[in-house]
Every structure is written in structure tokens, then in C-alpha cells.
């Protein structure tokens, strides 16, 4: 079992130099020490999640009790409380999970994630659900996010109307152990509630019950998911650039950006199951690293999701010939060369005949190598992360790899990767305009903006 990083194509003329690389050993050591110091102070709880047996047991015990009871599970959440569950479902359940028969799902429920408040989507989703066989997971670290609370109120109204006092049986909250509005409601109404540790932030929470509970409910092996993450944690246990893969990734991305202007970081899996994983990474990298330094300078890379081979017919033209401001990280999956044999037909049509006898797996992998090589030939830096296979163990390892890389990158950029002050102002304006008590000043501030749509 392995997850490996090939970064040969970052050392191209005009990109990362050997001298920069050698100098970076001390830089990573400093970043690693800073991350570990915060961890030792009780922060950055995401580092402990792979070995948190209590949370694993909380999750598996609940999932075991729920087995066979529900045909549909619905996550109410947004941002870090939604992207992880979506990514896990797409990566680790068969293609088109929600459209499969009960038999093909082996009796496991469908999983819907309402990661927005678009009234049309929510109304349409609720209209199709068999309410009596549906469990709603209300996932919110803060227990107060407007979108998630609005989703909850809508669902709660429907459940109360249909089931009265038994509505609570259709609900489970995943939230901070002490803070927020959900926890007291859970206590008062005896609603099942699982914990997101206080020191784990939203976008770093996928290996807590935020991701584990939906995953376990649809039959994903969450023990293996955590085992893969724990293995990656061990591989990153010290700050040695020669052995720490997450540190290597962070340093290379930072060097390419800070020294060579490559501030757009593309993550491009060549595997459909990892399509939504790229969206999860985008939130992690963007919300963690896009910040204002104390001197007022704005910093941070811009992550971009892509999918191979699909985006070879779209964004790759830009990656190849557009501004030289990008790195591309491919995610390859090994061992699929035999999959999808292509029939040898149309022997008299050379443009088709050459494909016969090959496989789709082979074509996809060759396309990835060809694209990486072509980018390198044009001086465009790229790396390849290779997974032996897409299974819970490897996905767990990949999650921990990118989370640790984000923590290191925060130190390299000189920002706190674990806050998100930039999203607060918009939130305060929203609360003010929606009439939330305590936000009257924000409402007035918004109304006074010169070009605001204050109508
Ligand atoms: O990473 C973050 O902190 C955010 O993206 C949150 O996950 C998002 O705002 C949802 O927050 P909460 O889980 O508190 O409802």
C-alpha cells in the first residue's frame, strides 16, 4: 500500500532550482516545528483524528444501530461540513451510488448532501425523499451557520408536521461538544449528537464524525480510512525534507509561487472517483492560505480543480500556453491498465483501429503521462501523486497528506491556516440583513456602502 509523490518535473529551467531546494530543508524544519508547537499547545486537533479511537467508536456504534433502518441519509451542512462527505461518497462508493438499486447498494442507504440553500434544489430533494425512511445529519462545527440552520429549520418543520414527537428520531447532530445552538437543542430534546472536537476546524474535519458518520452509514470502511491517515501521519512525523511527503509538496508549491510566480495550483486527478476530492482540496487550500499579512500584503495560492482526461479538452490549453503562473499536481491511480478492454474493430479505419487491443485504463494513464511530459517540455512545472488504488486506506492517506501540507504551507506563507477572517464580513452583513439579533450595526454598515445593493 503506498502513496508516492514524483516531483521531478518541478525542477525545470526557470522553476525550482537545486539551490532553492537545498535551502528549503531548514525552512521545512521551521514550519514543521511551528506546526508541532501549536499541536503541543492543544491546537490543530486534525493531527490526532486518525488515532482518535473514542470518536471512531462513537461513529461506528451509531452507524451500527442505524443499520437497515434508513433508505436515505441527508447531510445538512456547507463548506467543510459538506465537501468531505461528498468527496468520500464519490471516491469510495460505486459510480452513481444514489441511482443504484437497494441490492447493488447492499442495503446501504443513499447519501444526499445539501451543501447550499438554493430553494429549488432543496425543495426538489425533499419532495423525492421517503421521509419515514430518511435520516438527517445536521453537521455544523459552530452550530450557527445560517445556511445549515435554515436547512435544518426547513427539514425540522417537515419532520414535526409528519411525525410530531417522533421527529427527533430522524435527526442526528454533528457539532462542537459544548458550543453553538445545536448542542443545547440536542440535550433538551434527546437528539443523538456526535462530536467535532473543539480544536478541529471545519475544513480539517473530514476525519472526525463530519466525514466518518456519513461514510460509515453508507458502508464505507472508516477504520481503514483512519488507518491510511495514521500511516501518513507517521510518514510526516519529523520535519525532514527528504522523508516528509506533505512537507515536500508544501515546500515545492511555495517555492514555485514565492520564487517563480506560479501561484495557481491545479489539482488534476486522472480518476473519476477523485473528481469531488479536487473540490475538497480547493476549499482546504484556498480558505486556509488566502490571507492578509500583518503588513497589509495579500498572499495565497489560487487552487483550481481539474479532471483528466476530460480537461485535456478544456483547461489544459491554458495550462500549456497561458500565463506561466501555474503548477499542476496530477493524481494517478496505479494498476488499472487491464481495465476496460477496447475491442479491435474497424480494422480498415486506421484512426480507430490503433486503439483496438488496448484498454481504457491504459489510455487514461498514457494520457496523463503524455500531458505531464508535454507540460514539462514547455517549462510548466508539475508533480504526480500516485495511489496504488482508490480505497479507504489510500483516500485516508491522501486526506492527511493534503491537510498536513496545508498546515506547513500556512507557515511558509506566514499565515494562520486555521482561521477564515475574510468570510466573516459577508456573514455579518447577511446576518444584519436577515435580522439576527446583535448584528444591527452590520446591517447599517452594509446599508451605508456606496454601491451596495441595499434594496
Ligand atoms: O472551514 C471552515 O471553517 C468553513 O468552511 C466551515 O466549514 C463552514 O463555514 C461551515 O461551518 P460550520 O461547520 O460551523 O457550519
ipTM for this model: 0.99
Beta carbon of 81 within 6 Å of any ligand 1 atom: yes
Pairing of strands 382-387, 3-6: antiparallel
Scan for cell 482546504, then name that residue. 284
Beta carbon of 140 within 6 Å of any ligand 1 atom: yes
Ligand 1 centroid to 57 CA: how many Å?
Answer: 24
| Digit-coded pLDDT (tens) for 253-299 | 999 999 999 999 999 999 999 999 999 999 999 999 999 999 999 99
Beta carbon of 84 within 6 Å of any ligand 1 atom: no
Catalytic residue among 43, 358, 427, 445: 427
Q: What is the pLDDT of residue 455?
A: 53
| Digit-coded pLDDT (tens) for 387-424 | 999 999 999 999 999 999 999 999 999 999 999 999 88
In this structure, the residue with its CA closest to atom 9 of ligand 1 is 79
Q: Is 326 among the residues known to form the active site? A: no
Beta carbon of 235 within 6 Å of any ligand 1 atom: no
Residue 310 burial class via C-beta count within 10 angstroms: exposed 0-12, middle 13-18, buried 19 and up: middle
DSSP letter for each residue of 102-150? TTTTTTPPEEEEE-S--HHHHHHHHHHS-GGGEEEEEEESSS--HHHHH
| Cell representation of residue 42 | 492543544
- Mean pLDDT value across the chain: 96
DSSP letter for each residue of 7-18? -GGGS-TTS--H
In this structure, the residue with its CA closest to atom 12 of ligand 1 is 140
| Digit-coded pLDDT (tens) for 80-99 | 999 999 999 999 999 999 99
Beta carbon of 209 within 6 Å of any ligand 1 atom: no
Measure CA of the first residue to CA of the last residue in the chain; give whole Å.
Answer: 57
Give the integer Cα–Cα distance in Å for 285 and 404: 11
Pairing of strands 171-175, 264-269: unpaired
- Relative to the CA of 196, which ligand 1 atom is closest? 13
Instruction: Report the percent of the chain where pLDDT is more than 70.
Output: 99
- Relative to the CA of 423, which ligand 1 atom is closest? 9
Ligand 1 centroid to 143 CA: how many Å?
Answer: 9
Ligand 1 centroid to 80 CA: how many Å?
Answer: 5
| Digit-coded pLDDT (tens) for 151-167 | 999 999 999 999 999 99
Ligand 1 centroid to 202 CA: how many Å?
Answer: 4
Q: What is the pLDDT of residue 1?
A: 66
* Mutational test site, ligand 1, from 141, 180, 204, 419, max ligand atoms within 8 Å of CB: 141
Tell me the pTM. Answer: 0.96
Catalytic residue among 287, 365, 403, 411: 287
Give the integer Cα–Cα distance in Å for 308 and 100: 25
Amino acid at each position: 500500500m503506498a502513496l508516492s509523490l514524483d516531483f521531478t518535473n518541478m525542477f525545470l529551467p526557470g522553476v525550482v532550482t537545486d539551490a532553492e531546494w537545498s535551502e528549503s530543508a531548514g525552512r521545512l524544519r521551521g514550519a514543521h516545528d511551528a506546526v508541532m508547537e501549536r499541536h503541543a499547545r492543544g491546537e490543530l486537533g486534525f493531527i490526532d483524528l486518525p488515532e482518535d479511537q473514542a470518536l471512531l467508536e462513537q461513529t461506528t456504534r451509531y452507524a451500527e444501530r442505524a443499520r437497515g433502518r434508513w433508505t436515505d441519509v441527508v447531510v445538512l451542512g456547507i463548506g467543510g461540513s459538506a465537501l468531505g462527505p461528498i468527496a468520500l461518497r464519490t471516491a469510495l462508493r460505486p459510480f452513481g451510488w444514489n441511482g443504484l438499486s437497494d441490492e447493488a447498494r447492499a442495503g446501504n442507504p443513499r447519501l444526499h448532501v445539501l451543501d447550499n440553500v438554493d430553494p429549488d434544489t432543496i425543495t426538489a430533494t425533499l419532495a423525492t425523499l421517503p421521509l419515514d425512511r430518511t435520516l438527517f445529519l445536521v453537521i455544523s462545527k459552530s452550530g450557527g451557520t445560517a445556511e445549515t440552520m435554515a436547512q435544518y429549520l426547513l427539514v425540522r418543520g417537515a419532520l414535526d408536521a409528519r411525525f410530531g414527537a417522533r421527529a427527533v428520531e430522524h435527526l442526528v447532530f454533528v457539532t462542537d461538544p459544548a458550543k453553538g445552538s445545536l448542542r443545547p437543542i440536542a440535550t433538551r430534546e434527546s437528539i443523538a449528537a456526535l462530536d467535532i472536537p473543539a480544536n478541529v476546524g471545519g475544513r480539517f474535519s473530514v476525519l472526525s464524525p463530519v466525514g466518518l458518520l456519513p461514510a460509515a452509514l453508507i458502508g464505507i470502511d472508516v477504520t481503514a480510512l483512519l488507518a491510511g491517515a495514521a500511516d501518513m501521519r507517521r510518514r510526516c512525523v519529523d520535519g525532514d525534507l527528504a522523508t516528509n511527503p506533505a512537507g515536500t509538496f508544501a515546500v515545492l508549491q511555495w517555492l514555485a509561487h514565492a520564487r517563480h510566480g506560479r501561484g495557481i495550483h491545479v489539482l488534476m486527478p486522472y480518476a473519476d472517483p477523485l473528481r469531488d476530492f479536487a473540490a475538497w482540496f480547493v476549499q482546504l487550500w484556498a480558505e486556509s492560505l488566502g490571507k492578509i499579512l500583518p503588513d497589509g500584503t495579500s498572499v495565497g495560492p489560487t487552487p483550481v480543480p481539474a479532471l483528466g482526461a476530460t480537461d485535456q479538452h478544456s483547461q489544459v490549453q491554458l495550462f500549456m500556453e497561458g500565463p506561466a503562473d501555474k503548477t499542476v499536481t496530477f493524481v494517478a491511480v496505479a494498476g488499472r491498465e487491464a481495465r476496460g478492454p477496447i475491442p479491435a474493430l474497424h480494422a480498415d479505419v486506421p484512426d480507430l483501429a490503433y486503439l483496438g487491443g488496448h484498454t481504457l485504463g491504459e489510455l487514461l494513464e498514457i494520457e496523463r503521462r503524455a500531458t505531464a511530459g508535454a507540460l514539462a517540455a514547455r517549462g510548466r512545472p508539475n508533480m504526480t501523486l500516485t495511489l496504488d488504488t482508490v480505497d479507504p486506506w489510500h483516500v485516508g492517506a491522501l486526506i492527511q497528506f493534503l491537510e498536513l501540507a496545508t498546515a506547513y504551507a500556512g507557515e511558509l506563507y506566514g499565515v494562520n491556516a486555521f482561521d477564515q477572517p475574510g468570510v466573516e464580513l459577508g456573514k455579518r452583513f447577511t446576518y444584519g440583513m436577515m435580522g439576527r439579533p446583535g448584528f444591527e450595526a452590520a446591517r447599517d454598515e452594509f446599508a451605508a456602502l456606496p454601491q451596495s445593493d441595499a434594496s
